Structure 1
Amino acid sequence: MDENSGIAPVSYRPRIVDAQIAQYLGLFGAVEISGTKWCGKTWAALAHGESVTYVDRGANLQITRADPAYALAGEKPHVIDEWQRVPAIWDNVRHAVDDAGGQKGLWILTGSSTPLAPEEKSHSGAGRIGRIRMHTMTLQESGDSCGRTSLRDLFEGTFAPAPCENGITELAELACRGGWPEAAGKPSEEVQIIVREYLSLIFEESVPRFKGDAAIARRVALSLARNLGQAPTAKTIAKDAFSLLPDENPAESQLKTAADHLSILKHLYMIDEVPGWVPAARSPQRMRTKPKLYFADPSMVPALLGLGAEALLNDWQTLGLVFENMVMRDLDVYARALPSIGPAPLRYYRDDAGLEVDAVIERADGSWAALEVKLSQEKVDDAAANLLRLKKKLLKNERGRTPEPVFLAVATGMGEASYRRPDGVYVIPIRCLGA
């Protein structure tokens, strides 16, 4: 068993999620921090913990499989890193929390995947284990956004124009570098090498642990990269996964296999789902709108497609999609830091008439805001008009009882400052935006 002194690693950068971790440690007997590998979960946990068991190191895995309670021993809060390697740890923690008589903040679990078989984790841990989703670093956390245009301030009705860095070359670099904490400050060419190796590790080692095929998983990921920010059909993914011709239809077995591998990638936190948004909270349509799919970090997309920063600059459409992935990641992190927020605060809007808006942030009190994502300033007018069309359409339906949006905004890649248009729509370069 390995223990630390309760001090964060020397190179630890404070994360936006730290506040939520501290809050949850005061509310629950244990806290689970989940997210893709290498996003900083362990470092964040150590910043709040006093001791640690690394389940997948040395003899710990073998010992913990024989006695899951072994992983729980240590000064509290005790970190259990990669707990999902021994799923029985979950129920041991749950029972230990019950036995602790209401004590809070006893254990911090970190995991880069979830058990696929329901029987491996017999109880959800509701009321005992608080669950926190962690992402790779946002531009604000990496120091690449000044963060002076705050999402929280906008929801509170406060806005002040703020200058920020500009430049399309730098933006492509940021997209290819991603938000990996241990790669902070490295040039994108080096980070892309690391990300390609990371993806190979996912496909060749992690996927087979879930009884998946590395080659099929890679082709499914490539299909998602080519359909980034969409809600691709099972047929589209299966045709790509099995390299079918345009006029070929996948067999039922191929559809199931592709769906199984997509599920594995989700369980490994490699893929993020953005659910659809319908204003009426009780509307069944919320459950029927297919989620859009993005990658946990924007750098995964160029790594899968074999494109560096220079190649992205020559492929404006792909750069725009990778930029959208980056913005959606940042918005998710910033939204989760808002007060009065639900488990899925970031959504998108699409209706039968073809009206679509990239991002809707909804708080638990029913207040909401909508944002469009545009790489360049040239599309701002169209994006603003789209947002105003959404507002008019929703407010026109009196039976819907939809409240007015707190704000409407266009998140852009280019621009030297955030500002408010005469029509009331904000224009916010992503390097101005923050929590």
Structure 2
Amino acid sequence: MAYQRRVIDGVLDEVFPGLPAIALEGAKGVGKTATASQRVTTVLALDDPLQLEALAANLDLVVQVEPPVFVDEWQLHPPVWDRIRRAVDAAPDRARFLLAGSARVAPGARVHSGAGRIVRMVMRPLAMSERSLVEPTVSLRELLAGGRPEIGGSSPLTVPDYVEEIVRSGFPGIRGMSGRVRGLQIDSYVDRIVEHELPENGMTIRRPRALRAWLAAYGAATATDAAYSRIVDAATAGDDDKPARQTVDGYREHLQRIFVLDPVQAWTPAFAPLRRLTKTPKHHLVDPAIAARLAGVDAEGLLRGLGTRVGASTGTWLGALFESLATQSVRVYAAAADADVGHLRSADTSREVDLIVEDRGLRVVGIEVKLAGTVSDRDVRHLNWLDRELGDRLADKIVITTGPQAYRRPDGVAVVPLALLGP
């Protein structure tokens, strides 16, 4: 199949010619190998035992083969990272190395950070604009630039279409499969995490069923900041033998290291006016399809309201999964604009904004996500509060919906169907 360009390709087009080494990081299956392979002459795939053995026997292989060189799954032999770092110190030629890793190195591992030599970038599953469904008409980068640009465009997608996108997954190798095959493939993906990925990355799994139950409960807490104790309780309902706190902390640490958990951190303003904000992250799996599959709920079930939500007294679980789908895309677009994504919630819970995008110029776009085609004054009250609080620092405010039309309300809030939002 022909390679499908990703949003991150535009970033690589811009920066790889000026950098000696870039590491693409992200969960297995997001497309790192396909993307990196487009830009190199030599590929060293360390998940191939023969290539791993050859490189382990001769680390200098990375500088002896023809550049640019792509080292795939470099974390399977961490010394290669330091060898590339030293190669960059010795000859900082541009566009020389690409690395891909599906796990961060464990804390305490004797691997140099690579700061100043190897630039890290995170790859995530396919954003909506990468799924070839609808041509986006609203650019997040333009919204961050300020000036409240004109908003327009129409989308044919409806709620069932977005539900289908949730269960189809953003993993390129999974989404093209038929329903039952796709479900079995996601099951296999989770099995591999529990049985192979975590043990290979330093975690001993003594109770695989307990880990799967915790992962399912975490998925049920999608788009909430539920306390981890509540997630444990949901995972062990009716079970007196609960995992120890240290065990649960190990689940979280290692699942984040292999990018399966992808929480949105609480936004901390770089300036003064907003105080007493929560510091608790919002829970998200790398792809909402995993959460749906772990819960045993298909597209029809989601549309019928099935699925138990953990850690939220209002809203539906489908609404939470739609927020996760939107968050997945916003993070891809924000990274392309060199911006960060967080969420805002006041300590007294009286104010909440689903997503805050902030660029290096401290310009902010506030985003609410709504599983509906219409937007009321109540839906935008927190965005308008944020506008009053931040003033000129708020570049724009938008509500992401499932509706057919993009437009700007009289109060300045941009209403944008998820399919029409792009980088």
Q: Normalising by structure 2, report the TM-score.
A: 0.90
Q: Distance in 1 between matches of 2:228 and 2:348?
A: 23
Whether 1:124 aligns to 2:113 is: yes
Whether 1:423 aligns to 2:419 is: no
| Corresponding residue for residue 288 of structure 2 | 298
Q: Distance in 2 between matches of 1:175 and 1:119?
A: 36
- Note closer, same or farther for the CA distance 1:168–1:56 as it changes in structure 2 (3 Å cut): same
Q: Which amino acid aligns with 2:139?
A: S
Specify which structure has the bigger relative contact order, considering alpha-carbon pairs within 8 angstroms and separated by 6 or more residues.
2
Q: Distance in 1 between matches of 2:273 and 2:283?
A: 22
- Note closer, same or farther for the CA distance 1:284–1:167 as it changes in structure 2 (3 Å cut): closer
Q: Distance in 2 between matches of 1:298 and 1:104?
A: 37
Q: Which runs of 5+ in 1 are unaligned?
A: 1-9, 396-401
Q: Distance in 2 between matches of 1:255 and 1:324?
A: 29
Q: Distance in 1 between matches of 2:98 and 2:385?
A: 45
Shift of 1:23: 2.9
Matched position secondary structure for 1:108: strand
| Corresponding residue for residue 3 of structure 1 | none
Shift of 1:65: 3.1
Matched position secondary structure for 1:20: helix
Whether 1:150 aligns to 2:144 is: no
Q: Which runs of 5+ in 2 are unaligned?
A: 307-315
Q: Which amino acid aligns with 1:211?
A: M
Shift of 1:229: 1.3
For residues 55-79 of structure 1, give each alpha carbon's deviation from its aligned partner in whole angstroms, at most 9, with x where no partner exists. 1113122333343333554221100
Q: Identical aligned pairs, as a percentage?
A: 27
Check the 8 A contact 1:220/1:262 in 2, yes or no: no
Q: Which amino acid aligns with 2:324?
A: N
Matched position secondary structure for 1:319: helix
Matches within 5 A, 1:245-324: 245=238, 254-281=244-271, 289-315=279-305, 317-324=316-323
| Corresponding residue for residue 104 of structure 1 | 94
Check the 8 A contact 1:145/1:434 in 2, yes or no: no
| Corresponding residue for residue 88 of structure 1 | 79
Q: Distance in 1 between matches of 2:305 and 2:216?
A: 17
| Corresponding residue for residue 348 of structure 1 | 343
Q: Which amino acid aligns with 1:80?
A: V
For residues 251-270 of structure 1, give each alpha carbon's deviation from its aligned partner in whole angstroms, at most 9, with x where no partner exists. xx701110111111101111
| Corresponding residue for residue 7 of structure 1 | none
Whether 1:161 aligns to 2:152 is: yes
Matched position secondary structure for 1:48: coil
Matched position secondary structure for 1:377: coil
Check the 8 A contact 2:68/2:97 in 1, yes or no: yes
Shift of 1:358: 0.1
- Note closer, same or farther for the CA distance 1:282–1:70 as it changes in structure 2 (3 Å cut): farther
Q: Distance in 1 between matches of 2:71 and 2:15?
A: 16
| Corresponding residue for residue 45 of structure 1 | 36
Q: Distance in 2 between matches of 1:286 and 1:331?
A: 25
Whether 1:215 aligns to 2:199 is: no
Check the 8 A contact 1:81/1:110 in 2, yes or no: yes
Cα RMSD, aligned residues only: 2.4
| Corresponding residue for residue 328 of structure 2 | 329
- Further displaced range: 288-297 or 301-310: 288-297
For residues 296-322 of structure 1, give each alpha carbon's deviation from its aligned partner in whole angstroms, at most 9, with x where no partner exists. 112111111111111111117221111
Check the 8 A contact 1:239/1:249 in 2, yes or no: no
| Corresponding residue for residue 361 of structure 1 | 357
Check the 8 A contact 1:361/1:368 in 2, yes or no: yes
| Corresponding residue for residue 394 of structure 2 | 405
Whether 1:61 aligns to 2:28 is: no
- Note closer, same or farther for the CA distance 1:390–1:160 as it changes in structure 2 (3 Å cut): closer
Q: Which amino acid aligns with 2:405?
A: A
For residues 370-405 of structure 1, give each alpha carbon's deviation from its aligned partner in whole angstroms, at most 9, with x where no partner exists. 01001113554322122112322x24xxxxxx6441
Matched position secondary structure for 2:394: coil
For residues 138-163 of structure 1, give each alpha carbon's deviation from its aligned partner in whole angstroms, at most 9, with x where no partner exists. 11111123211111222333223101
- Note closer, same or farther for the CA distance 1:204–1:286 as it changes in structure 2 (3 Å cut): farther
Q: Which amino acid aligns with 2:280?
A: K
| Corresponding residue for residue 115 of structure 1 | 105
- Further displaced range: 293-302 or 112-121: 112-121
Whether 1:382 aligns to 2:382 is: no
Check the 8 A contact 1:188/1:309 in 2, yes or no: no
Shift of 1:337: 1.1
- Note closer, same or farther for the CA distance 1:55–1:370 as it changes in structure 2 (3 Å cut): same
| Corresponding residue for residue 5 of structure 1 | none
| Corresponding residue for residue 309 of structure 2 | none
The partner residue of 1:137 within 126, 141, 150 is 126
- Note closer, same or farther for the CA distance 1:188–1:326 as it changes in structure 2 (3 Å cut): farther
Q: Distance in 2 between matches of 1:377 and 1:128?
A: 47
Q: Distance in 1 between matches of 2:326 and 2:53?
A: 41
Matched position secondary structure for 1:358: strand
Shift of 1:416: 1.0
Q: Which amino acid aligns with 1:127?
A: G
Check the 8 A contact 1:271/1:296 in 2, yes or no: yes
Matched position secondary structure for 2:283: strand
- Note closer, same or farther for the CA distance 1:286–1:98 as it changes in structure 2 (3 Å cut): farther
- Note closer, same or farther for the CA distance 1:194–1:96 as it changes in structure 2 (3 Å cut): same
